[in-house]
Structure 1
Amino acid sequence: MHAWRGHSFGPPEILVWEEVDDPPLADGELRIDIAASAINFPDVLFTAGAHQVKPTPPFIPGFEVAGLVVESRAPSLPPGTRVAATLPGSGGYATRVIARPSTTYALPDGMPFEDAAALTITYQTGYLALHRRAGVKPGDTVLVHAGAGGVGSAAIQLAKAAGATVIATAGGKDKAAVCHALGADLAIDYHSEDFVAAVKDHTAGRGADIVFDPVGGDVFDRSTRCIAFEGRILVIGFASGHFPAARANHLLVKNYAVIGFYWGTYSRAQPALTRGAQDALYAMYGEGAIRPLISAALPMADARAAMTAVASRATTGKVVLTTQR
């Protein structure tokens, strides 16, 4: 097999495309011939050695893939099965990967591999954060930050599918238009508009019931100024690079909650929940309620340039790497 490997930590340029031995297959595992691998912002952090999971070099980035099972010691997923898989230990920027059946999902008929690779981690994150952690319900107002990004674009669709009113923020008019196209009822270009004032105006002063925040930093701090009574702020990540600190006195007086969500912990500790979420996502996909926003499908050979584009926020939705099949 071939893979993009990092022999040290750094920017995407440190990755090297090289031939590596196929790892042996253990009982219960399966080998997937990769057709598509989705890029996520955490892949950049992983390569830089700044992710929550710090690998030991040499390492292969990539946490979500789709392809064909070519060897299996898992009876439920025989060779020839079209699957998507999430990889808590990474390894997706390659031609083949080993996966566990607990985090591998047989694809619905007709689902393209590109959609399948983009419809796992970010959508499981949005689904479980909104439904399990925040208890989203019809009529809620959900504020989604970075709505044109990978996890934000998923959250917009999932909140709308749950019957919520969605307000999204994005950087620039073009990205705000993307949020509108995804279903946002109000899209705010934070370069030219104060989202706090816009949220209060749109909700007649009440504020957002749920804030979906993958940015952190100042965005989190300002979100506390437009959260509704008994609202919930979902801490999804820190794309800004700054970790905010919740003010306990403000939490007490305004009666809102700050709720963390990290997909990796759920995937390892409660894989039944992520599987249930994936089943629900496939049903929603089949009904046309959700569809991954894939702004580019590029050859695996372009992995380094694609990662750089994602890191610079030059993309929308997801970028997917494809291999020849």
Structure 2
Amino acid sequence: MRAYLCNAFGPLDTHGPGDLPPPVPADDEVVIEVAAAGVNYYDTLIVQGRYQIRPALPFSPGGEFAGTISSIGAAVEGFHIGQRVLAFNSFGGFAEKARARASQVFPLPDAVSFDQAAAALVAYATAWFALHDRGRLRAGETVLVLGAAGGVGLAAVQIARAAGCTVIAAASTPEKLDACRHAGAAIGINYRQEDLKEAVKSATGGRGADVVIDVVGGAYTEAAVRATAWRGRVLVIGFAAGDIPRIPANLLLLKGCELSGVFWDEFLRREPQACHNQVSAILAGIENGSLAPPIHGRYGIEEAGEALKELAERRATGKLLICPKR
């Protein structure tokens, strides 16, 4: 079968399309004919050997994918061949077929398209877990989203807005801020041109943000902590800026604030039922129109390298998809 392959860990331009044997499900797995697979920042890291997981070579990246079940393991219950599903498996999705543990497969409502589902799983589930679980979000609060024009960022903007919160979007260009406002952000901050702390303080009358979503890292994390309100919650999701920040602990003491890590992959593995409940709520939001995953572009398997580069260079506004039948 056709797949986008990593034959050896290395720079993005060293990988490309190729062939793999069709996957065979283990007893607790299903195999899915992939209609669409989401592209995530960790996909750019895993092929370089810079992610927590290092799959056996060769492999195809792509951790989230939607499609139709084509075969089922002997111990799997509750699924059937031909069923529309959404799945997560850390890697394998940039291919014509991919396998996933049944515990990491989600039934897909007919009203939600494969593209919408593949655009939503990791980004929206990460943002939902961060805001509603780790951040204990309440209506009326102010939410600051760093990297707000990316997949997780736009998801966080929509989810916080739907929860009745005021959203401050921080992004790097006017075009990206326009996308954030379209998604529901009330205020936009260009953090390459403005002092992030001072801009947030000004936007909140000096109070600061109640909740911070941080997918950027680097120097912006400390600035965001300094911009939090009393009892604020800073939710660390990733480090798109490249540098892992070090936060002066006295800031947490002075503000009575919390600094929490958000690792959705591990949440899915350790607390599958709670995770399934959250994904069901997200799919319901897509059905009723309160959530709308923005799609930046669609690529075939032969073009997957272009999608990875576009994401790595932070040129995407919304989600990139790999569509094997394109």
Question: Corresponding residue for 1:85?
Answer: 87
Q: CA-atom RMSD, angstroms? A: 1.3
Instruction: Give 1:225-240 correspondences, 5 Å limit.
Output: 225-240=226-241
Aligned to 2:253: 252
Query: Are 1:102 and 2:69 an aligned pair?
Result: no
Output aligned runs, 1:190-269, within 5 Å.
190-269=191-270
Deviates most, 283-292 or 185-194: 185-194
Q: Which moved more, 1:69-78 or 1:32-41?
A: 69-78
Query: Could you give the per-residue CA deviations for residues 95-126 of structure 1, whole angstroms, max 9, x where no partner exists?
Result: 10111221111111132211110111111110
Give the alignment's TM-score, normalised by structure 2. Answer: 0.96
Give the Cα–Cα distance (whole angstroms) in 1 for the partners of residues 294 and 230 of structure 2.
33
Contact 1:5 1:59 in 2 (8 A): yes
Q: What secondary structure does 1:38 align onto?
A: strand
How far apart are residue 134 of structure 1 and its match? 0.8
TM-score, normalised to structure 1's length?
0.96
Deviation for aligned residue 1:163: 1.0
Whole-Å separation in 1 of the counterparts to 2:172 and 2:249: 30
2:35 aligned with 1:3: no
Q: Which moved more, 1:128-137 or 1:293-302?
A: 293-302
Q: Deviation of residue 196 (structure 1)?
A: 1.7
- Alpha-carbon deviation of 1:176? 0.6
Q: Are 2:111 and 2:287, in contact at CA under 8 Å, matched by a contact in 1?
A: no
The one-letter amino acid of 1:32's match is I
Deviation for aligned residue 1:13: 2.1
Alignment of 1:1-325 (within 5 A): 1-73=1-73, 74-88=76-90, 90-324=91-325
Q: Give the total of aligned pairs.
A: 324
Q: Map Cα deviations across residues 270-315 of structure 1 (whole Å, 9 max, x no partner).
A: 1112211101101111121111111111222210011111111111
Offset at 1:23?
A: 3.0
Unaligned runs of 5+ in 2: none
Q: State the 4+ residue runs in structure 1 displaced beyond 3 angstroms.
A: none
CA displacement, residues 16-55 of structure 1 (integer Å, 9 cap, x when unaligned): 3222212332223211000101101110011111112122
Q: What is the Cα deviation at residue 173 of structure 1?
A: 0.5
Amino acid aligned to 1:228: A
Q: Is the 8 A contact 1:114 1:297 kept in 2?
A: no
Cα separation, 1, equivalents of 2:280 and 2:54: 30
Query: How many angstroms apart in 1 are the aligned matches of 2:162 and 2:202?
Result: 24
Q: Deviation at 1:154?
A: 0.6
| TM-aligned CA deviation for residue 75 of structure 1 | 3.2
Judge conservation of contact 1:298–1:320 (CA < 8 Å) in 2: yes
Secondary structure at 2:47's aligned position in 1? helix
Partner amino acid, structure 1, of 2:305: R
Identity %: 39
In the aligned structure 2, how far is the partner of 1:273 from the partner of 1:322? Answer: 29
Shift of 1:2: 2.0
SS in 2 for 1:259: strand
For the residue of structure 1 that corresponds to 2:242, the secondary structure is: coil
Aligned equivalents of 1:144, 1:156: Cα separation in 2: 7
Given that residues 112 and 286 in structure 2 are in contact (C-alpha distance below 8 angstroms), is that contact kept between their aligned partners in structure 1?
no
Mapped to 2, the partners of 1:160 and 1:82 lie a distance apart of 29
Identify which range, 195-204 or 153-162, moves more after superposition.
195-204
Q: CA deviation at 1:191?
A: 2.6
Following the alignment from structure 1 to structure 2, what is the Cα–Cα distance between the partners of residues 192 and 297? 31
- Give the Cα–Cα distance (whole angstroms) in 1 for the partners of residues 174 and 104 of structure 2: 37
Distance 1:285 1:136 in 2: 20
Alignment gaps of 5+ in structure 1: none
Partner secondary structure for residue 57 of structure 1: coil
Task: Give CA deviations for 1:205-232 in whole Å, capped at 9, x if unaligned.
Answer: 0000001001111010111221100101
Secondary structure of 1:115's aligned partner: helix
> Structure 1 CA distance, aligned partners of 2:176 and 2:152?
14
Q: Distance in 2 between matches of 1:311 and 1:250?
A: 31
